[in-house]
Structure 1
Amino acid sequence: MKTHFKTLILSLAITGFITCNANNKKPYTYLVNANETKLQPHSNKQHIKVALLLDTSNSMDGLIDQAKAQLWDIVNELSYAKCRNEKPNLKIALYEYGNDRLNGDEGYIRQVLPFSDDLDDISKELFSLTTNGGNEYCGQVIQTSLNQLNWGNNPDDLKLIFIAGNEPFTQGSINYKDAAVNANEKDVTINTIFCGNYNQGISTFWKDGAKLTNGDYMAINHNHKTVHMASPYDDKILILNQQLNKTYIGYGTRGKAKVAEQAMQDTNAITYGNANAVKRSVSKSSHFYKNASWDLVDAVENDEVVINELEEEALPNELKGKSEAEIKAYVTKKKIERENIQRQIKELNMKRTKYISENTKTKSTNSLENAMTKAIKEQAKKKKYTWD
């Protein structure tokens, strides 16, 4: 399957090569460049891995709209998860299928993004989706995601596929039952979301597609407009979000572009209203929002960059010509500012959540976000995950 090179490059953690000869170190000898990657050490930390397979045929505009509007609700809900008292990491992959603009020889399927923990990239690619066509081959897109994605072997990982669409589950040359066998072998649970009438989804085998891996079958009104409730705390959180952005120090060949992308995804979020932008701000205060591949604060904290090994070309303008001590002091200052701002956002969000809970008479349960979070929580219990 053809993969968009631009998406692939953006999803890599781009760092530089550190020399092993400590005696030959010089100030600024660490150059980050787009052709160099640093292999990350294997981690036993648990992951929630979610592959989202979205039908992007003509009738699915409402589904894509819900996905864009509810992304931060889903991320925020998952941020409260714990496994054995540890907070797991989150990786999301994105596929589109059923769009006539895609390659028919490959089943009208495209991997939009492989497993990524870069929330800005996930938002960016989600907002790039458009609908057209098409031919929806559920079995084939499931099998493609099983083949292409790195699901790993950690038994504590929660590995989930969510496939959403509205055509019969039986279409295409790959039988969904065969894909389900492979999913069981990889400890992956398939959850099906039919966009339409519940009973119609059953008669077109969407429920059976979930049952084979002990997943959940759900039906949603994909044309339902997402309503984000405002609160008295929203304006304060949005002001703090602007301050939060100023604590990021873009470095290397990607730094400047990623700072701009961060701001762009703030703008995308606000297209669904201030309250949705607030939810993105809350996501940015969580442990999921890490950007070590381009932000110097996160990179230093994760031991992915040694300051005295950075080449000056890799530094942002405000740090060029500075001594090692001055750079360290600047990074530490921004780290402290960020932690303080994130703490304030979390405190305000607790008040915001309480306000919304007390002032919401009825909550819609017939949406993509509610379907996904309900299924994730139920299936997470089997692996001893808990929620704060």
Structure 2
Amino acid sequence: MKKIAQKSMIALMLFGIGTGYAFSEQGRKNANTKQEATHEHSFLKPEPPTVKIALLLDTSNSMDGLINQAKSQLWDIVNQFTYAKCRNEGRPGLKIALYQYGNNDLSSQEGYIQQVLGFSGDLDEISAKLFSLTTNGGEEYCGQVIHQSLQQLDWGKNPDDLKMVFIAGNEPFTQGRKNFREAVLHAKERGVIVNTIFCGDYNLGIQTQWQEGARLAGGEYMAIDHNRQVVHVKTPYDEIIIRLNKRLNNTYVSYGTKGAERMAVQVEQDAEAMDLQEAVAVKRAVSKSSAYYNNAGWDLVDASSSDDFDLARIKKETLPESLRDKSDSEIRMFLDEKRKERQDIQEEIQQANAKRQTYLNEVQKSETGELEKAILEAIKKQAAAKDLYWE
């Protein structure tokens, strides 16, 4: 009986040791796994922040100058972002939304307000929407359009994003049923900075509460001459950049049900910019040579640059006819050639633009527009809080 008890005791001791070892070993494995995960995570760079800009533009009768400035100076703003950097060495994303308000052609039930475009990084789409704007009378309800932009737009929850409203107009900021103070304070609570741009005399904008709207929201108050025409200086490099832009367009390969349509929009927006002024077409071409001009939604070259691109998912009947009968390997080779061609042309545009900027500096002519200057000054000032800076 004593021997049985001794054997039982020994078995229990061995079981305990084995179990302890098993738990200890599993613990070491868990610790190692956790350590490996932490080690792996430490190599992952955080996603760069996005600058989200909601442009709220007064499109009443007196605002033709403002709309023309927005059309022509969009590309200057985009081009400035090519010099923006994050502390993690990446470049911030850029998304722009567009509202119009104060136009009699809009619904009175909606407060003469329309969301023209939600947040988008598609530069052709943004340009097309700006060129679609026309002016016509109306009541300008600043508080209400700010409120609607807060409710309707997807501002996201990333605390590192820089979220900004720029509202431009020339009537009292106090008009409309929605109290502007409530609207701008709500924006501030949501981490959205409201910047106000009064189109007219600086002191008149203060008297009509435009400055107060910005102050309450932690933004900037600015006054501009919306009818001022920017004097563009012709340079020896303009024609070079425009010719390169035409070659650049030939590197795009449409796909999908709307690919051909979107390619037509690209050409159409080139023409719109040229009709406005040759210098605007030049600046648009420079934007098209930057990383911010990405058309992965309809261009196979941009799409194929993504890590998760799968050519097998592309329906060949939506490709240009010249590619439909080619094998996957032939299409990939073709895309590689187009990508290299595009990169070379974009580099040539950048080099020509650098010489263009040097020329402009030498003749001491400024091409800065009123709206562009106001927006960029506010962005650069407020970006510092998000660890964004300009080279």
TM range (shorter): 0.7 to 0.9
Amino acid at match of 1:379: Q
Match for residue 30 of structure 1?
A: none
Confirm or deny that 1:376 pairs with 2:356. Answer: no
Please point out which of 49, 71, 78 is paired with 1:68.
Answer: 71
Aligned residues: 345
Whole-Å Cα distance in 2 between the matches of residues 297 and 219 of structure 1?
Answer: 43
Whole-Å Cα distance in 2 between the matches of residues 79 and 271 of structure 1?
Answer: 25
Whole-Å Cα distance in 1 between the matches of residues 290 and 145 of structure 2?
Answer: 31
Match for residue 367 of structure 1?
A: 370
Please point out which of 44, 47, 55 is paired with 1:44.
Answer: 47
Whole-Å Cα distance in 2 between the matches of residues 365 and 344 of structure 1?
Answer: 24
Q: CA shift at 1:376, angstroms? A: 0.8
Amino acid at match of 1:378: K
Report % sequence identity: 56
Question: 8 Å contact 1:53–1:164 — kept in the other structure?
Answer: yes
Confirm or deny that 1:355 pairs with 2:362. Answer: no
Amino acid at match of 1:58: N
Note closer, same or farther for the CA distance 1:304–1:272 as it changes in structure 2 (3 Å cut): farther
Q: Deviations over 1:292-326 (max 9, x none)?
A: 11000111112454113322212221201111111
Q: CA shift at 1:166, angstroms? A: 0.3
Confirm or deny that 1:218 pairs with 2:218. Answer: no
Alignment of 1:196-211 (within 5 A): 196-211=200-215
Match for residue 307 of structure 1?
A: 311
Alignment of 1:88-107 (within 5 A): 88-107=92-111
Amino acid at match of 1:372: I
Q: Unaligned regions of 5+ residues in structure 2, if any?
A: 1-45
Helix, strand or coil for the counterpart of 2:175? coil
Question: 8 Å contact 2:188–2:218 — kept in the other structure?
Answer: no
Whole-Å Cα distance in 2 between the matches of residues 215 and 48 of structure 1?
Answer: 15
Q: Deviations over 1:163-220 (max 9, x none)?
A: 0000000000111111112111221111100000000000000000101122111111
Confirm or deny that 1:272 pairs with 2:272. Answer: no
Alignment of 1:1-388 (within 5 A): 44-84=47-87, 85-303=89-307, 305-361=309-365, 363=366, 367-388=370-391
Question: 8 Å contact 2:104–2:136 — kept in the other structure?
Answer: yes
Whole-Å Cα distance in 1 between the matches of residues 263 and 296 of structure 2?
Answer: 12
Q: Deviations over 1:32-74 (max 9, x none)?
A: xxxxxxxxxxx93311110000000011111111111111111
Whole-Å Cα distance in 1 between the matches of residues 386 and 316 of structure 2?
Answer: 47
Whole-Å Cα distance in 1 between the matches of residues 86 and 216 of structure 2?
Answer: 26
Aligned Cα RMSD in Å?
1.3
Amino acid at match of 1:385: L
Note closer, same or farther for the CA distance 1:240–1:183 as it changes in structure 2 (3 Å cut): same
| Larger helix share, 1 or 2 | 2
- TM-score under structure 1 length normalisation: 0.87
Which of 1 and 2 has greater Rg? 2
Deviates more, 1:255-264 or 1:225-234: 225-234
Whole-Å Cα distance in 2 between the matches of residues 192 and 56 of structure 1?
Answer: 16
Deviates more, 1:267-276 or 1:323-332: 267-276
Q: CA shift at 1:360, angstroms? A: 2.1
Whole-Å Cα distance in 2 between the matches of residues 307 and 58 of structure 1?
Answer: 50
Q: RCO (CA 8 Å, sep 6+): is it higher in 1 or 2?
A: 1
Q: Deviations over 1:76-109 (max 9, x none)?
A: 1122111111111110000000001111111100
Whole-Å Cα distance in 2 between the matches of residues 367 and 252 of structure 1?
Answer: 40
- TM-score under structure 2 length normalisation: 0.86
Note closer, same or farther for the CA distance 1:366–1:243 as it changes in structure 2 (3 Å cut): closer
Question: 8 Å contact 1:80–1:387 — kept in the other structure?
Answer: yes
Q: CA shift at 1:264, angstroms? A: 0.4
Q: CA shift at 1:228, angstroms? A: 2.1
Helix, strand or coil for the counterpart of 1:247? coil
Match for residue 33 of structure 1?
A: none
Whole-Å Cα distance in 1 between the matches of residues 265 and 305 of structure 2?
Answer: 22
